[in-house]
Chain A
Amino acid sequence: QSVLTQPPSASGTPGQRVTISCSGSSSNIGSNTVNWYQQLPGTAPKLLIYSNNQRPSGVPDRFSGSKSGTSASLAISGLQSEDEADYYCAAWDDSLNGRNYVFGTGTKVTVL
């Protein structure tokens, strides 16, 4: 079961700004960096943001990430139709069970 909580859905019209939240705890987001993955329909996940706010080469600058305390967020500014996808936050979690990688519950972004 996911230990990072995201809203199930978000939507916006083309050009709008959409923000997705990701809530965790001191054992994951509070002490480790956050990564974001984009999963377009019918495809494998793709790295979108790493180390809280870094974009890999090729990711448009309309995608941005931030982290504060035990929460993180992904912002999509200038929403485009091709941004319609599922988005997952993720972080390493250090607990009594050792170090495990945990994903958020996922957010489906719809472009209206």
Chain B
Amino acid sequence: EVQLVQSGAEVKKPGESLKISCKGSGYSFTSYWIGWVRQMPGKGLEWMGIIYPGDSDTRYSPSFQGQVTISADKSISTAYLQWSSLKASDTAMYYCARRIGGAPSLAWFDPWGQGTLVTVSS
């Protein structure tokens, strides 16, 4: 079974750093892009960026470029999303998802991780 399992909920203070993870199993982790999606409380889905674990090629949404860092460790089939200095506005649920389906412009995301809730509060 293809699965993405994310790390647990985090409570942090403004200015602190954080790295959350997404571990893939049941497929060749290095052969599929992994994307990250933000969902702020009561709001919709926002695409943050994507990484190809095979060579760590990374693309960011313009809205998130410079705000977060996406990385991967293919030796342990894990992708990461990290912040160097959290803000209260980073409070959200974060999902990882595997990109599949042919040409890049035709692809979709499946499956999704269960989500990691990040709460930033003083």
A residues lining the B interface (CB < 8 Å): 2, 31-33, 35, 37, 39, 44-47, 50-51, 56, 88, 90, 92, 94, 97-106
Which secondary structure characterizes the binding site on chain B?
strand
Given known A44-B112, A45-B95, contact A100–B47 (CB-CB < 8 A) = yes
How many CB-defined contacts (below 8 Å) exist between A and B? 72
Chain A hits for B75, CB < 8 A = none
Contact pick for B45, options A32, A45, A50, A98, CB 8 Å: A45
Contact pick for A44, options B35, B105, B115, CB 8 Å: B115
Alpha-carbon gap, A51 to B102, bound state (A): 10
**Interface contact B47-A102, CB-CB below 8 Å:** yes
Alpha-carbon gap, A47 to B115, bound state (A): 15
Residue of A at shortest CB range from B4? A44
Chain B hits for A56, CB < 8 A = 110
29 A-B residue pairs with Cβ-Cβ distance under 8 Å, sorted by A, are A2-B46, A32-B105, A33-B105, A33-B106, A35-B108, A44-B115, A45-B97, A45-B112, A46-B112, A47-B108, A47-B109, A50-B101, A50-B110, A51-B106, A56-B110, A90-B45, A90-B109, A92-B106, A97-B62, A99-B59, A99-B105, A100-B47, A101-B35, A101-B50, A101-B109, A103-B37, A103-B44, A103-B47, A104-B44
Alpha-carbon gap, A97 to B65, bound state (A): 11
**Interface contact B95-A44, CB-CB below 8 Å:** yes
**Interface contact A51-B101, CB-CB below 8 Å:** yes
